[in-house]
Structure formats: C-alpha cells, structure tokens
Chain A
Amino acid sequence: MAEVSLTCKRTVISTKPVQPGKFCPLSALDRLMERNYLHIVFYYQSTVERNPGELTKKLREAVAEMLSAFPIITGRLFKTPEGHWTIKCNDAGMRMVEARAKGSVEKWLQNLDREKELQLVHWEEMFHKPYFWSTFYVKVTEFEEGGIAIGLSCTHLLSDPPCATMLIKAWADMTLGGKMITPPLFHPLPGRRPGNTNTNHEPYVELIDYYKLSIEKPAPVFNTKQVTIILAFDDEMVRRCITRIAPVESSRTPFEALAALFWVVVSKVKGTKGGLTNMSICLDMRNVLGLDRGFFGNCMVYNKVNGDGIEGNELCKAANGIKEVVRKMDADGIMDLIEWLKERNYQDLPWMNGYDLICVNLEAVDSYSAIFEDNARPLRVSYYIEPAVGEGQILIMPPPAGSRNTFSRVVTITLPEDEVNKLLEDALIQEFSPTILMGLNKMHSSTSS
C-alpha cells in the first residue's frame, strides 16, 4: 500500500503586498454555500528527471507569484456589521502542505478509493475564529518513483468547482510560462440587464421555492458511509445513449443523456416507488449570465427536477424532465433567484448538497488544460463536493485526453456502498460498457479499452 508522509506545512505569501483596507464582499450565491467545501486532485506524470523536492520548490515559487493576482485567497473571513461574510484582504497568505508518497503515480491510480484519494488533500474545518483560518489549502505530494499529485481544498463560500479549476490553471500557467492566460476578475454578480425587463415576466417561482425549502430544512441525518466510484463513457457509448433517449441526436446533450440514465438507474437501486427519486441538478450559470471566464466566485445554481410518475425504464421522459428544467434556468430566472436571495437576507445556513440526489454538470470545466510542465497534461482530475451527506452525487465531467468536441464523459458517482454495488451490476449501465477508472477496492478494475 502506498503511503503518504507529511514533509511540512507552511504559509505561502503573495509576491506583491496587498494595499491595506481592501475588502472582497461575497455574493448571495456565495453565502449559501458556507457548509460545503471542495476537494480536487490533479495527477501528473514526471516528464523530467528531478531531485526530490525540486519540483515542489518550483511550484511553491509559482504559487507565490500567482497569489499576487488573487488577494481574495490570501485574505481572511470577516463578518460585516450586517452579519454577512466578506473577505478582508489582509495579505495573510495560503496554507500549503508538502508530502511524499511511496510508489509511482501510475500505480497509485490503479488501486484507488475515496479514502486513499483524500489523503492527497489537506483540509481544516473552519476555526471558531475564522480570522486566522486559511480558506484554501494546497497539498503537493511527490511520488518517489515518479509523478506528482496536486490537491486543492477550499471552502465553497468562495469558489465552486469551475472557479477552483481556474485557480489551478492560473497556477499552471504561471509555472510553465510565467504569466496567467486568464487573469481573474473580482466583481459582484451582474444585475438584471436594463433593456431586457419584460413587464409581463413572471418570477421563476419553482427555483425560488426550491431554495426557500432548502434554507428552511433542518439539518440532514448523517447515516450511511458513502463510497465513490468513477466511470468513463466513451464517445460512441454516449451517442448511443443520446439516441436511446431521443430520435434526433442533436436535441439532447451528453449531460442530459447521462443525467437521465443515472437518475433512472439510481432510482432503481434505491428502490424508489411512485416515480423517480428526488434529484436536483446543479448547473454552471457563467455562460447564461454572460460572465467572463475569469470570474471568481460561486456561479452554480441548483434546481429540482420532477420525477413523479415516471416509471423505471422511461429514459425519454426523464431526459425531457431534465431538459425542461435546464431550459427554464435562463438569465431572467437566475436573476429572480438572486434578487430574492438579496431581499430575504436570511441568516440560516442551508445544506445545499444535503438531501436529494445531486447531479452536477461540470462538462465545461477545463481541468485538462492545467499544464505545469511541457507536454504533461493531467493524467486524471478528481472532484469531491463535501460533505457527502445527501442521497448521493453524480458529477459529469469532461474526458481526460484530446479534443473537446467529443461526447465522451467521465462520471463520478457517490452513493452508499450497497447501492454502488447494485449500480455496477445494473443492465442499463452495462449496456453502455463504461470503463471503471476507480472502483470499489474489493473489485478488480476491468480494463476494457
């Protein structure tokens, strides 16, 4: 068993001092996510022969340069007089942990599970006095026989998965070429565009109600331990899935197809009666709101999809239901939500991932372009949205190698252990012959290329 041993934990400071008195307020969407945190792991092979610790030192220098453009990360949480979180940019720095692991990165990837993977990230729960608590943690693990893993943990208050990926990409650009291709932008969420107000416009009540309900729900019960598996669906299989759910291929996206597929299968393994299991989808609203790629902050919105009355194998109806909700989540709808959140000025903290099955669309996240050294794309990128306390999570992510126009996808599934077993044996899943990138440790990984 490969083992990870800690070398040291330090604070990395930005190379440019921050002018005192700067604050970065958090948006309404940010503040909802206080209970959640992210773990992301990037794996790389070694391209060049290096001394132990040499690459870590290079990464450390690059991260210090990069942090000069991200004063929000080196700042600390601070409560305004109104009781809202804001970031006081006090230049305190970001925590970085350095570690070493036995074996090589390829060997590690072959024999992986959730617990092992989480050894490659470092996380500390929010302190009682968060003014001394770093919001971001980076862990760099060098594998003795070659390869490196970069783990990022951060609070969901400041960043969602696309935003955290942008951070790693900025770090990679800085290490490789000394400058960032997409510098970050810090500004509040856009307001409603003035010319576009439709006087007959009805507020998007369902979305607002969904959030209202989430905020008012009591804390979820943490019962069963959940495990995570990762499945890869190649281009042909995804197209087949799309054809299955709709005769005209172009009218359905891979996300809708896979989301519908898993909705149906997970409902089956959970044994839900009278329809499909409660599911919420989580979509990245950056394009919808017209935000620049460099926007820093939360911009993912959840919404419920209605599964009542849909029978076990009715993939088409499931996909239709998802498509309908995706269509309705347009700019106006999101604006309604944001305005309602601002007005309501709630103090309770919802558990946004804490109840239903969540299906997150991370297709547009550009993780595989985070290249630190020449010719070394990440071998794999894993995402975890914590804490995993709801019915389950499905994350739909882009494929590892090559072009972006392919329909192949990687899906991370987090469910209670017995449900995962049943899912892997399900006929519908088997029909699309996924490759198991990370399975349950007891099962051997099937390598169907």
Chain B
Amino acid sequence: MPEMLPKFSTSVKLKYVKLGYQYLVNHIVTFLIIPIMAAVSIKILKLGPEEILTIWNSVHFDIVQILCSSFLVIFIATVYFMSKPRSIYLVDYACYKPPIMCRVPFSTFMEHSRLNLKDNPKSVEFQMRILERSGLGEETSLPPEIHCIPPNPTMEAARNEAEIVIFSAIDSLMQKTRIKPKDIDILIVNCSLFSPTPSLSAMVVNKYKLRSNIKSFNLSGMGCSAGLISIDLARDVLQVHPNSNALIVSTEIITPNYYQGSERAMLLPNCLFRMGGAAILLSNKRGDRNRAKYKLVHVVRTHKGGDDKAYKCVYEQEDPQGKVGINLSKDLMIIAGEALKSNITTIGPLVLPASEQLLFLFTLIGRKIFNPKWKPYIPDFKQAFEHFCIHAGGRAVIDELQRNLQLSAEHVEASRMTLHRFGNTSSSSLWYELNYIEAKGRMKKGDRIWQIAFGSGFKCNSAIWKCNRRIKTPTDGPWQDCIDRYPVHIPEIVKL
C-alpha cells in the first residue's frame, strides 16, 4: 500500500506539471503581451496628461506619409484575402441504411460458406475463425444476390445494387439539404471495385437529370481511402470555381466482388466487407456558411506505393482456379503502421498545439544529439481533436491505431460500433462513424474531428474537420433505430 501512494502522488504531480506546461506554451503570446502592455500603460500613466499632449504634437504627420502607409496596409490586406484559400464547408451528409432483410447473421454466413465450399473444409474453418474475431455483429448486410446459393453476381445485379445504394443516399441528402439537382456544380463518385461504362457518376447524372455543364468525376480502383481522396479533389476543384457546391458519393459495390474460390488469404474480404454508401454535399458559397455542419480544415494524403511491399499488400488477382479476389498480405498491419506514421508526421505540425510540438522537438534533438536510447515522444493527439473516426477496416486496424495513438475506449467507440453494426463498408465507413457521434449527442460546436482512412496502394489519408454549428441529435439516419442499444460489449471471440 505505501508503495502505491507515492506512485499515485507522483503521477498527480506530473499531471499538474504537464497541465501547467501546456497552458504556458500554448498561450505564450498572451503571457508575453500582458506584461509588456502592463509596463507600457504604467509608463504612460506616470507621464501625466500635458506631457502626453506634447509628445502627440511633436510627431509630425505628413499627408503623403499617411496616404502611402494606408495604401500599403490596404494592399497587404487585399493580397492576404485574395490568396487565402476558399473555405470549404460540409453542408450535410447522408448514409445509406440497408434494408433489414439483407442482413447476414453469422450462422447464415457459415452455412453458405459450407454449402458453397463443400470441398474445402479448411477454408470454411478459416472463415469461421475470422468471423469469430472480426468484431462484426448480426445485422451487417450483404446485397440480395449474395444471399443466393451459389451467389449469382451478374452485371445487372451489380448495377441494381449501385442504384439502390447511391440513389437512396442521394435522395436522403437532397431531402436534408433541400438542394435541387440543377444546383449541383461538381459531382464525384468513388467506388473502388465496380466500374462499368457508362460510369456510376454518369448513372447519377442520368437519374437526377443534372446540368449538362456539370464537372463530373468517377474515381475507381483507389481502395477504402478513396472517400477522403474525393474530398480532397472536391476541395481543389472548389478553389477554382467560386460560389459552387460539390456532391460526393462514396460507396463500395459488393455484388461483383464476392470471392467464389477457396484461397484463404482471398476469403478474408468476404468476411468483412458489407453493403453501405454515403453522399456528402460540400460548398464554398458564403450563404452556406451558417447552415453547414462542418468546415474542412486540412486534408493530408500519404502514398506509400513507392515501396514494393506496400504496393502489393492489398492486391487483386486470380487464384489458381482462375477466380478473381483480393489478396491481403500478412504484413498489412505493419505497413498500415508505417503509413500512419508518415501521415502523422505531416499532420502533427498542422494541428498539434505548440506545447506538444516543442516537446516532440526537444525529444528529437535529444535523441539525435544526447542519447539515441531516449523513447521517441508520441505527441498526444487527444489535445488536438475531440473526436476520432478511424476507418472500420477490421478489428485489428482499430486496435492498432488505438494503441499507437494512445486513445481511450470512448475515442474509438464510434469506429468499433460502426464495424459491429455495418461491417466494413469501405470508403463510406467514416461517415457512419461521424453519424454515430452525432446520434449520441456528443458533437458540439467547435469540436475538431480527425478522419483517418487506409486503402490499397498503400495509402493513408486524413481529413480534419471543425464543427461549425450546434448539431441537434439526428432523428433520421442509419443509427436511428438502434442507437439506444449502443455501445455494446464486443467479445474477443464470439462462439459460433
């Protein structure tokens, strides 16, 4: 007992020291200005009123000097305002809620696995082990064609799924934002594995009769981080086009990509990927400034494709029987960790408060000069953000990030619960997570959110948002009927 007390008291002391240090460094400017201003005011007060007047009259103001200095000030101000990048606002977003009929309980998944892979009991065993530890729940959804024995992935079925998911999400978004199809200036659709001709963005233009001078883009093949790539693209296009808005649709179409072979490394995506989609409306219009939910602060993209191992770690290929599937390498988590480190190194200086950056700098200098054995300082990102949306790629990804960034269970709750309720919905999972946080009533004005996505390539992309206004707890949305049941405890291994 006496041993614990000193530890406790030292940790408390350390906490206060840390807090004091943070306040000092983060508000250093205030701390410096206050004494200076105090000194100046005391000096002035000491002088007395007549002496102030004399000093005032002795300063000789020339008309030309005044004009030039004012022009200079106005000129600098104009240059500053013109070169400032336009603020991008997220007006609102909508997530697709799959019909409850499409859900796939574990027992059904395993039964189908056994029936479709009759001759490969080892592969079936493998799938069962993955499913037990996956962190998914009993309500994740697969498209109707995948419920067939054997699955029947025709192109028509894939288009049907795309139509249902995308149009549902867009209808919901249009209802929320009261925007008309004719008002959409930019359209970006990202869907990694299904890329028909005409493209999915053409399908949206056709369905909603969008304008003929719309700037439409279709991103395919870019993996689960494509959602944030779309945001980045929209931001860049919105810099060039004033007074515009951009509709972004992020989804993944499962029907054509359900692996029908028996190679273990390629069966993993079948266990994790589920139906989902999201539609997002971005705008740079002044009028949307007050009604927008979030403001986009930064987008940071990191691409590790230059490294061969990273490039091959999520690889679509044919198995020995000629069936196409996505091969996930065993080094996936290590590569993800490296990509994250790269991304953090770029983000850190942009978002961390000065106190954390100084500490990091000191430890870095210390390690380089004094003693390489010093532990590298991991900056505390919890000071920079109130909410974290980690791509629900799988339980391992969330665990790894929680460990690396030293996040608490509540910080990763949105990610874990999205994985449980919706599975890995690829690029749209970040939006389900954001919606969870809103549905729980945790989002307040001024909160900063960090969305992190990983994807094939290997890419790690981050987007940083700031909550722009008070957000009422949503009464619609994918979490509407089940938010009260969450958070649930997800056991390490679910017994099947």
Is B101 a contact of A60 with CB atoms below 8 Å?
A: yes
Nearest to B105 among chain A residues (CB) is A91
Binary interface profile of B, 117-158, with partner A (CB < 8 Å = 1, else 0)? Answer: 000000000000000000000110000100111001000000
* Bound form: Cα–Cα A11–B101 in Å: 11
Is B111 a contact of A132 with CB atoms below 8 Å?
A: yes
The verdict on A13 contacting B101 (CB below 8 Å), with A8-B148, A8-B152 known, is yes
Is A11 a contact of B111 with CB atoms below 8 Å?
A: yes
Let me know if A234 is at the binding interface, CB within 8 A.
no
Which residues from chain A contact B108 at a C-beta distance below 8 Å? 11, 13, 91-93
The verdict on A13 contacting B115 (CB below 8 Å), with A8-B152, A91-B138, A93-B108 known, is no
Cβ 8 A contact of A132, one of B100, B114, B139: B114
Let me know if B103 is at the binding interface, CB within 8 A.
yes
The verdict on A17 contacting B107 (CB below 8 Å), with A9-B149, A11-B112 known, is no
Is B111 a contact of A17 with CB atoms below 8 Å?
A: no
The verdict on A10 contacting B104 (CB below 8 Å), with A17-B138, A17-B139, A92-B111 known, is no
* Bound form: Cα–Cα A18–B138 in Å: 9
Let me know if A31 is at the binding interface, CB within 8 A.
no
Nearest to B152 among chain A residues (CB) is A8
Is B147 a contact of A11 with CB atoms below 8 Å?
A: yes
* Bound form: Cα–Cα A9–B100 in Å: 19
Is B105 a contact of A13 with CB atoms below 8 Å?
A: yes
Is B147 a contact of A10 with CB atoms below 8 Å?
A: yes
The verdict on A76 contacting B148 (CB below 8 Å), with A17-B139, A60-B101, A91-B138 known, is no
Let me know if A64 is at the binding interface, CB within 8 A.
yes
* Bound form: Cα–Cα A18–B139 in Å: 11
Which residues from chain A contact B101 at a C-beta distance below 8 Å? 12-13, 15, 60-61, 64
Which residues from chain A contact B148 at a C-beta distance below 8 Å? 8-10
Let me know if A353 is at the binding interface, CB within 8 A.
no
Which residues from chain A contact B107 at a C-beta distance below 8 Å? 76, 90-93
Which residues from chain B contact A8 at a C-beta distance below 8 Å? 148, 152
* Bound form: Cα–Cα A291–B26 in Å: 76
Residue tally, chain B, CB below 8 Å to A: 19
Cβ 8 A contact of A10, one of B105, B138, B139, B149: B149
Chain A binding surface SS class: mixed
For the A-B complex, the count of residue pairs with Cβ-Cβ distances under 8 Å equals 53
Nearest to B146 among chain A residues (CB) is A10
Is A92 a contact of B114 with CB atoms below 8 Å?
A: no
Which residues from chain B contact A10 at a C-beta distance below 8 Å? 144, 147-149
Nearest to A98 among chain B residues (CB) is B148
Which residues from chain A contact B114 at a C-beta distance below 8 Å? 132
The verdict on A11 contacting B103 (CB below 8 Å), with A17-B139, A91-B138 known, is no
* Bound form: Cα–Cα A132–B108 in Å: 9
Interface size class of A (residues with CB under 8 A): 10 to 19
* Bound form: Cα–Cα A91–B211 in Å: 48
How far is the CB of B54 from the nearest CB of chain A, in Å?
Answer: 86
How far is the CB of A21 from the nearest CB of chain B, in Å?
Answer: 10
* Bound form: Cα–Cα A216–B139 in Å: 47
* Bound form: Cα–Cα A164–B210 in Å: 52
Which residues from chain A contact B111 at a C-beta distance below 8 Å? 11, 92-93, 132
How far is the CB of B159 from the nearest CB of chain A, in Å?
Answer: 16
Binary interface profile of A, 1-14, with partner B (CB < 8 Å = 1, else 0)? Answer: 00000001111110
How far is the CB of A414 from the nearest CB of chain B, in Å?
Answer: 32
* Bound form: Cα–Cα A18–B107 in Å: 11
* Bound form: Cα–Cα A15–B148 in Å: 17
* Bound form: Cα–Cα A132–B121 in Å: 14
* Bound form: Cα–Cα A60–B100 in Å: 12
How far is the CB of A20 from the nearest CB of chain B, in Å?
Answer: 9
Which residues from chain A contact B112 at a C-beta distance below 8 Å? 11
* Bound form: Cα–Cα A92–B114 in Å: 13
* Bound form: Cα–Cα A61–B107 in Å: 20
Which residues from chain A contact B147 at a C-beta distance below 8 Å? 10-13
Which of B144, B147, B149, B152: most chain A Cβ within 10 A?
B147
Nearest to A19 among chain B residues (CB) is B138
Q: Restricting to B77-117, which residues have a CB under 8 Å from any CB of A?
A: 100-101, 103-105, 107-108, 110-112, 114-115
* Bound form: Cα–Cα A60–B138 in Å: 20
Which residues from chain A contact B138 at a C-beta distance below 8 Å? 17, 91
Which residues from chain B contact A93 at a C-beta distance below 8 Å? 105, 107-108, 111
Which of A11, A90, A95, A132: most chain B Cβ within 10 A?
A11
Which of A9, A13, A60, A64: most chain B Cβ within 10 A?
A13
* Bound form: Cα–Cα A363–B101 in Å: 36
Is B152 a contact of A13 with CB atoms below 8 Å?
A: no
Cβ 8 A contact of B115, one of A15, A18, A60, A132: A132
* Bound form: Cα–Cα A9–B115 in Å: 12
* Bound form: Cα–Cα A10–B102 in Å: 12
Which of B107, B108, B110: most chain A Cβ within 10 A?
B107
Which residues from chain B contact A13 at a C-beta distance below 8 Å? 101, 103-105, 108, 147
Which residues from chain B contact A64 at a C-beta distance below 8 Å? 100-101
Which residues from chain B contact A11 at a C-beta distance below 8 Å? 108, 111-112, 147, 149
* Bound form: Cα–Cα A13–B138 in Å: 11
Is B105 a contact of A92 with CB atoms below 8 Å?
A: yes
Nearest to A92 among chain B residues (CB) is B107
* Bound form: Cα–Cα A64–B141 in Å: 14
How far is the CB of A43 from the nearest CB of chain B, in Å?
Answer: 25
* Bound form: Cα–Cα A15–B102 in Å: 9
* Bound form: Cα–Cα A438–B150 in Å: 36
How far is the CB of A100 from the nearest CB of chain B, in Å?
Answer: 15
Binary interface profile of A, 320-342, with partner B (CB < 8 Å = 1, else 0)? Answer: 00000000000000000000000
* Bound form: Cα–Cα A95–B111 in Å: 11
How far is the CB of A62 from the nearest CB of chain B, in Å?
Answer: 10
Nearest to A131 among chain B residues (CB) is B111
Chain A positions within 8 Å of B, measured between CB atoms, are 8-13, 15, 17-18, 60-61, 64, 76, 90-93, 95, 132
19 additional A-B pairs beyond A15-B100, A15-B103, beta carbons within 8 Å, are: A8-B152, A9-B148, A9-B149, A10-B144, A10-B147, A11-B149, A12-B101, A17-B103, A17-B105, A17-B138, A17-B139, A18-B105, A64-B100, A76-B107, A90-B105, A90-B107, A92-B108, A93-B105, A93-B108
13 contacts across the A-B interface (CB closer than 8 A): A8-B152, A10-B144, A11-B147, A15-B101, A17-B139, A60-B101, A61-B101, A64-B100, A76-B107, A90-B107, A132-B110, A132-B111, A132-B115
For the complex of A and B, the 7 pairs showing the least CB-CB separation, nearest first, are A92-B107, A90-B107, A91-B105, A64-B101, A10-B148, A15-B100, A10-B147
